[in-house]
Amino acid sequence: MMPREIGVTELALRDAHQSLMATRMAIEDMIPVCEQIDRAGFWSVECWGGATFDTCIRFLNEDPWERLRTFRKLMPNSRLQMLLRGQNLLGYRHYQDEVVERFVAKAAENGMDVFRVFDALNDPRNLEHAMNAVTKVGKHAQGTICYTVSPLHNTEGYVQLAGRLLDMGAQSIALKDMAALLKPQPAYDIVKGIKDTYGADTQVNVHCHATTGVTLVSLMKAIEAGADVVDTAVSSMSLGPGHNPTESLVEMLEGTGFTTGVDLATLLPVRDHFAKVRPKYSAFESKITTVDTNIFKSQIPGGMISNMESQLKNQGAGDRIEEVMEEVPRVREDAGFPPLVTPSSQIVGTQAVFNVLMGRYKVLTGEFADLMLGYYGECPGVRNAEVVELAKKQTKKEPITVRPADLLDPEWDHLRAEAAGLEGFDGSDEDVLTVAMFPSVAPGFFKTRAEGPKNVGKTAEQVAKEAAIASGAANAVREPIKYTVTIGDHAHNVSVEPA
């Protein structure tokens, strides 16, 4: 019997460097291996999303649209894939439908093929318009389930959600496990449930992080249950808070009833290239070097903890993290058990910090109040009525039950006018969309764009020097160091070097 071929989505160019090095990788460190990636036989190559867009204009002085066109040119045979926050697109607010349509059309025009559309609350109404826009331009609309664990989340609910997304026109379903919480048995059950309910030809993609150490097993069980495509990253860009290694996935399937189309020999230079590049970005690396299984207990992803810790430290309360950790599940329950993923993780986490520092719900953040009032969409659970009352009182806003974007007025002309007033605006719809996504960052970027992309990683010389320091030669003076030394009244120019 021929083994069934499992597709693989390579994450190195988006989620891998986002998870491992705060999304800082420069385009010049990706270009040398794009041709190899293009030939390796992946189902798709993930290469664009909210954080990459943001980092491009905030830190790398690089036009994210130009990055997309570069990928398109260098990987002509690959499906390019992006992560899209539904009605939020790549930003942090809801956009009016016309903006969503224009964004999707422009992304497609510049080269995007597969749009993985998700919503932090798993509210399907926040995905529908974006998925329709993708279908309208003839591209692949992937409806996403954000996997989380709560008393209200179960296999049946996830399978139902998949059905709603399919009804809305999703061409495939992604099971997205952003916190590495998906254990093998639920991975099997959910994929099997979707296949059994909606037909074996329903395409299911599975995305897991590796942080807890169990998720390569989850991918195996998902494949046994019928998953069609799984996400991994080339080994030199894998593990820790990142993803499972592509090579390990390919090798793991040998002799089973499954195989991949990935050619490991083609991937070898990609692995070696990123192994050389990675130390350049060590300053941005996470501290998780093995695995962290505490996440299963706390349900709080690593990135959220470090965020709350820094908030506490800024308030001189760095010792109260344990209290906050205990407060998070309560706040999450009051909010109706949202999944904890951008932006809901920040909203819940910050409110938990406020509760500990100032007393429970003495002060609501604006975002948390909006969450309680339905302005981000619907959560699976019933919200705590008392806290909803507090939110009404504080914000003078009424709770809503409609799709949040339905309350928005047309805004495209306004956005174009805003962009037109900016120095360095090039007149394109792409630039208008950049302003729409990141209105506070775009103006500065437009001004400096002509200087071209920056590399915020270390140079090869710096990497070599740090390696030497790490290997113990740290205290030696290796080159002339000049001091001005004042003894008594006399200033001396002094040079010190190895004798």
For residue 311, give the amino acid letter: Q
Structure tokens at 143: 């409806």
Residue 208 binding a second copy, by CB under 8 A: no
Residue 8 binding a second copy, by CB under 8 A: no
Residue 206 binding a second copy, by CB under 8 A: no
Structure tokens at 51: 């954080």
For residue 186, give the amino acid letter: P
Which residue lies nearer to a second copy by CB, 192 or 383? 192
Residue 474 binding a second copy, by CB under 8 A: yes
CA distances from 335 to 35, 146, 311, 384, 391 (A): 46, 17, 21, 7, 11
Residue 238 binding a second copy, by CB under 8 A: yes
Residue 440 binding a second copy, by CB under 8 A: no
Burial of residue 467, with CB atoms counted within 10 A of its CB: 0-12 exposed, 13-18 middle, 19 or more buried:
exposed
Determine which helix (DSSP H) or strand (DSSP E) holds 389, and give its type and residue range: helix 385-395
Q: Which of 31, 407, 460, 485 binds a second copy (CB under 8 A)?
A: 485
Distance of alpha carbon 162 from alpha carbon 191, whole angstroms: 10
Least Cβ distance, residue 351 to a second copy (angstroms): 28
Tell how strand 481-487 and strand 490-496 pair up.
Answer: antiparallel
Strands (E) across 112-208 are located at: 114-117, 140-146, 172-177, 204-208
Residue 255 binding a second copy, by CB under 8 A: yes
Binding mask 286-325 for a second copy (x = CB under 8 A): ---xxxxx--x-----------------------------
* Whether 374 contacts 391, CB under 8 Å: no
Residue 12 binding a second copy, by CB under 8 A: no
For residue 160, give the amino acid letter: Q
Least Cβ distance, residue 469 to a second copy (angstroms): 5
Size of the site for a second copy (CB under 8 A): 43
Q: Which of 41, 86, 163, 245 binds a second copy (CB under 8 A)?
A: 245
- Phi and psi at 245, nearest 5°, equal -75, 135
Which residue lies nearer to a second copy by CB, 33 or 252? 252
Residue 235 binding a second copy, by CB under 8 A: yes
Residue 401 binding a second copy, by CB under 8 A: no
CA distances from 295 to 32, 189, 286, 303, 427 (A): 36, 21, 15, 11, 46
Least Cβ distance, residue 487 to a second copy (angstroms): 5
Least Cβ distance, residue 293 to a second copy (angstroms): 4
Least Cβ distance, residue 166 to a second copy (angstroms): 26
Burial of residue 424, with CB atoms counted within 10 A of its CB: 0-12 exposed, 13-18 middle, 19 or more buried:
middle
In degrees, to the nearest 5, what angle opens at C-alpha 185 toward C-alphas 290 and 381? Answer: 95
Residue 216 binding a second copy, by CB under 8 A: yes
Residue 480 binding a second copy, by CB under 8 A: no
* Whether 87 contacts 405, CB under 8 Å: yes
Only one of the segments 81-89, 105-113, 233-241, 426-434 lies at the binding site for a second copy (rule: CB under 8 A); that segment is 233-241
Return residues touching a second copy (CB under 8 A): 183-186, 212-214, 216-217, 220-221, 235-236, 238-239, 244-245, 247-248, 251-252, 254-256, 264, 283, 289-293, 296, 466, 469-470, 472, 474, 483, 485, 487, 492, 494, 496
